[in-house]
Amino acid sequence: MNEHGARWASHSHGGTCQCCGAHALYLAAFYHEHHNEMIRVGEKCADKIGMGNKGAFDSARKQVAQERDRMTGKLRAQLQLKERALESAWELYEAKNYHGSDERIAYDLVTDLIRYKALSDKRWDFLERLMDRIENREAIEAQRAAEKAQAADCPKGRMVITGTVLSTKISDGVYGSVLKMLVKTEGGYTVYGTVPSGLEAERGSVATFKATVEPSDKDSKHGYFSRPIAQKA
């Protein structure tokens, strides 16, 4: 219509289909070059005049159904978040705020809530912790900085270490995948290395193990451990 300055055909039978007058929800638009007019036609009438396209109509119906489900899912998710006092997570999702690692994970969790209608209790708890970290980031970082300043320097050598597991991650190496952990020791410094066999390392748990520690060249309050052996607390 923009290209040729065409107009819609004026004849009508009362419905949305300008061919039979039926109230069709999905319509195809055809251009009549001689009259420079456009006409809206339902699927059955399009077939009757030999210009039907079942695939296009099916695709349109599928897209509308998907959008309807998405809108319903968004409303459901918004209500669930409100019930748990997590309106800030919805605001983060709506603002597409996924530029930080915590924000990215929170955004993905809300996306999953919309898509799958629910989250497990474990994932709900994780989302609550994430939003608490995001909303109190400055205070948390200030506290960590103060704790780090008071921490002892990382020692060097073979020793027994006791500390709290801050995080774990799977790391791929030349010998396959291994589980790594970051531990905050009783002295306040942190060490990173492979979880020893027989040690149940979970975030927040207390771990005791013997290892060879090497301080970091870039951070005196951090080090790396190797050859770990699990010890009884």
List pLDDT tens digits, range 177-216: 899 999 999 999 999 999 999 998 888 899 999 999 999 9
Could you tell me the pLDDT band of residue 94, with boundaries at 50, 70 and 90?
very high
- CA nearest to 25, candidates 43, 7, 1, 46: 43
Q: pLDDT digits over 113-168, tens only? A: 999 999 999 999 999 999 999 999 889 889 888 888 889 999 999 999 999 999 99
- CA nearest to 37, candidates 9, 2, 5: 9
Order of strands across the sheet with 7-8?
7-8, 37-42, 27-32
Phi/psi at 228 (5° precision):
-80, 145
- Looking at the predicted structure, is the pLDDT value of residue 7 above 70? yes
**Cβ atoms of residues 184 and 192 within 8 Å:** no
CA–CA separation, 140 and 5 (whole Å): 62
At residue 100, the pLDDT reads: 86
Q: Which helix (H) or strand (E) holds 11?
A: none
Structure tokens at 48: 């009757």
The model's pTM is 0.54
CA–CA separation, 40 and 12 (whole Å): 10
CA–CA separation, 118 and 116 (whole Å): 6
Q: pLDDT digits over 37-84, tens only? A: 999 999 999 999 899 999 999 999 999 988 888 889 899 999 999 999
At residue 78, the pLDDT reads: 94
Residue type present at position 3? E
